[in-house]
Homo-oligomer: A and B are copies of this chain.
Amino acid sequence: MRREANFNLVKEIFEKAAFVRALGIELTSFGKGWCETQMPLSPSLRQQHGLAHAGAIMTLADHTCGGAAASEVPEGRDVITVENKVSFLRPASGDLLTCRAEVLRAGKSLVFVEATVTGHNQSESALIAKASSTLAVIERSKS
């Protein structure tokens, strides 16, 4: 069942990625063509002014784009980031970041995905970053 296989891949790329676990990124929901995650803004994710580091935001966006792309590829295939551009719309000063990635087009060899990153504190939420990424569909390595 192709659909089942894809969904396993989405879960796997979150369970088996050490860096993603180290940052506290969690898969919150996903379906065919989309993926949602969250990342609590612990002190270790911050830069010199106490804001979320651009690299932590890019990691969240990149991996969530990977999750969305993974949901679209057939069994026996995997995805890898070709390039990712992230625009930083506002400083990320809140307690929690959430991310939603959506596939713009899933081709045989390339998948185009975009993602929004939203910052949350106790009283409000704001769009803090927008990502635009291309991923390549590759053969799945045995592990």
Interface residues of A (CB under 8 A from B): 12-13, 16-20, 22-23, 43-49, 53-56, 58-60, 62-63, 80-91, 104-105, 109-110, 112, 114, 127, 130, 132, 134, 136, 141, 143
Contacts and interface: CB of A to CB of B under 8 A. Distances in A.
A48 B60 CA distance: 15
A99 B110 CA distance: 23
A136 B105 CA distance: 15
A112 B46 CA distance: 23
A60 to B, nearest CB: 8
Contact of A19 (B13, B53, B84): B53
Contacts of A48: 12-13, 16-17, 143
Which 3 pairs of residues, A with B, have the shortest CB-CB distance? A55-B59, A85-B85, A19-B53
A17 B63 contact: no
A56 B20 CA distance: 10
Given A19-B47, A48-B17, A105-B89, A82 B58 contact: no
